[in-house]
Amino acid sequence: MATDSDTIKHADDDLRPLIDRSLRHPVMFFFTSAAAWLAVALILGIVASAKTHAPEFMGNVGWLVYGKAYAAHLNTLVYGWGCQAAFGVIIWLMARLSRKECRNPGTILLAGHVWNFAVLYGVIAILSGGGTGVPWMEFPAAVWPVLLISYVFIMAGSVVQFRCKEGGHTYISQWYLLGAIIWFPWVFTTANILIFNFNGHPVMDAGINAWFKSTLILLFFVPVGVAAAYYLAPKVTGRPVHSYALAQMGFWALAVIGPWTGMQKLAGAPIPQFLPYVGAAATVLFFIPAVTVAVNILKTVAGHASTVAASPTLRFTIAGIFGLLALGVMGVCLNFPAGLRFSQFSIAGYGFEILAIYGCFSMCSFAAMYFIVPRITRREWLSRRFISWHFYLSAYGVATIVICTIGGGLMQGAAQEYWNMPWSDAATRQYAYGWGTTVSWLFILFANVFFLLHLLLMWARLGRRSQHPTLLHQHHSESPHGPEGDIDEIQAANA
C-alpha cells in the first residue's frame, strides 16, 4: 500500500511541472493582460470618482466626462481585469486538479487575444460616445457575441480536462470552477439576448440588467475566488479542508440562491411585486454560503498564524475570505426593507460591487497569482517588499472605498427621503466621501503599479531560479518544499 502511494506521489511530482509548462504562456498572458487592464480601470476610476466632488476636473476633455469615464471604468474592471484573471486561475487550477496537461495552448492564446481586442474596441467605443448605456453592458451590441465565442474557446479545454480527470474524486474547487464555467455563458447570453435582441419593455430591461450584474458576481466571480481559496488554504498549510460536507453545503446554497438575486433594485417599479422581494430575500440569504465558506477556510488555516504571516498567498486568501464575509453582511444590511430604501438610488450599490469584485474576488485572485506564477516560470518573486506594499495598500484602499461609498450612499439615500428638499442637497451629502474614494483609488493604483511591474519581471524570467519557487527565502525550520511546497494533492488540496 505504501509503495502504491509513493508511486502515485512520484508520478504527480513528475506531472505537475509538465502541466505548468503546458500552461505557461496562456496563464501568464491572462494574468499580465488582466493586470494591465486593472491599471487602466483604476485610472478611469480615479477620474470618475474625482468628478463626483470636483466636476470641473478635466472638464475640457470631452471623452472623459463622468458618464463615459464611469462606464469605461466598470466595464474595464469587469471584462479587462476580472474575467481575464478568472480565466488564468480557472485553466491552471482545473488542469492541476484534473492532472491533465493543456493540449491547446495556441487556441487559448488566440482566443485571449480576440477577447482583449474586443474589450479594447468596447472601451474606445464607450469613451467615444458609442456605449449602450446599460450598466456593465455598455460595450456596443456587436461586441458581446465576440466575447462569448472567445470564452468558449478559452474554457473548452478545461471542461474536457474535468471530463477526463484522473481518479474518481472531485475536489470542491472543481465544483466551484465547473459551476463558474457553466454559469457565465448562461448569465451572459441570456442578459444580452433579452436586452439587445428582443424589443422588451425598458423597465424589464432594467430588471434584467440588475439580475445580470448580481448573478455575474455571485455565480462567476465569487465561485472562482472561493475555488482558489479552497485550493490554496489546504495547499499552503498542508492540512485538508476542515469539512468537506460544509464545503458542499456552501456550494449548493450558492447555486440555489445566486440566480434569484438582483431584482430588488427595482422595488417600487411597475413590475410583478414578488420579483423585488424574491431578489432582496435571495441577496440576504447569500449570507449563508458566505459564512459557510468563511468558517470552513478559517478553520482550515487555524493554528497556522506564522504561515499566514510568512505566505503572501495566505495573506491575500484570508483577506479575500474576509471580503466574502463582509459581502454577505452587506447583502443583509443593504437589502432589508429598512436598508433598501436608502441604498436603492445611491452610490451604496457601487460600494457593494467594488467589495465583491476587488475586496473578495481580486484578493483571492492575487493570492492565486502569487502561488501560480513562480510555478509556471520556475522563478522566485523578486521582492518581498513589493508584495507587502501591494497587500497593505490594496487592503487599506478597498476597505476605505467600501466604507466611503456605502457610508456616503446611505447618507445620500437618507437625504433623498426628504421629498421637500432640493435633490442637490442629497447629492452634496456624499462629497466628503467622494474625496475618500478618490484618494483610496490612488492608493490601489500605486499598489498595482508595483504588482504589474513585478509580474512583467517574472514573465521576463528575471527572478532567481528555483526548483520549488514559493517564498523569497527559506527558513531553516521549514520542510525542503517550504510552507507552500507541492505536497501531495490528494492529501492536502481539497479532499
Cα(150)–Cα(460) distance, rounded to whole angstroms?
26
Residue 159: exposure state from Cβ atoms within 10 A (0-12, 13-18, ≥19): middle
- CATH no., domain 2-492: 1.20.210.10
Q: Give the pLDDT of residue 268.
A: 83
Tens digit of each residue's pLDDT (9 = 90 or more) over 151-170: 999 999 999 999 888 766 88
Whole-number percent of the chain with pLDDT over 90: 62
Q: Dig out the grid coordinates for 20 from the structure.
A: 505548468
Which residue, among 35, 141, 57, 158, has the nearest Cα to 105 in the 3D structure? 158
With 0.85 as the threshold, say if the pTM is over it: yes
pLDDT, one tens digit for every residue, the chain (495 residues): 455 555 555 566 678 888 889 999 999 999 999 999 999 999 999 999 999 888 888 878 888 899 999 999 999 999 999 999 999 999 999 999 999 988 899 999 999 999 999 999 999 999 999 999 999 999 999 999 999 999 999 999 999 999 888 766 889 999 999 999 999 999 999 999 999 998 888 899 999 999 999 999 999 999 999 999 999 999 999 889 999 999 999 999 999 999 999 998 888 888 888 889 999 999 999 999 999 999 999 999 998 888 888 899 999 999 999 999 999 999 999 888 778 888 888 888 899 999 999 999 999 999 999 999 999 988 888 888 889 999 999 999 999 999 999 988 888 887 777 767 776 777 777 777 888 999 999 999 999 998 998 888 887 777 666 655 454 444 433 332 333 334 333 333 444
Tens digit of each residue's pLDDT (9 = 90 or more) over 302-340: 988 888 888 999 999 999 999 999 999 999 998 887 788
Residue 47: exposure state from Cβ atoms within 10 A (0-12, 13-18, ≥19): buried
98: Cβ contacts below 8 Å, ≥ 6 apart = 161, 162, 164, 165, 166, 174
In this structure, how many other beta carbons lie within 10 angstroms of the beta carbon of residue 202? 8
Cα(283)–Cα(292) distance, rounded to whole angstroms?
15
Cα(104)–Cα(325) distance, rounded to whole angstroms?
37
Domain spans in the chain, listed from the N-terminal domain onward: 2-492
- In this structure, are residues 230 and 494 in contact, taking their beta carbons and an 8 Å threshold? yes
Q: What is the CA radius of gyration of the chain?
A: 22
How is 241-261 classified by DSSP, letter by letter? -S-HHHHHHHHHHHHHHGGG-
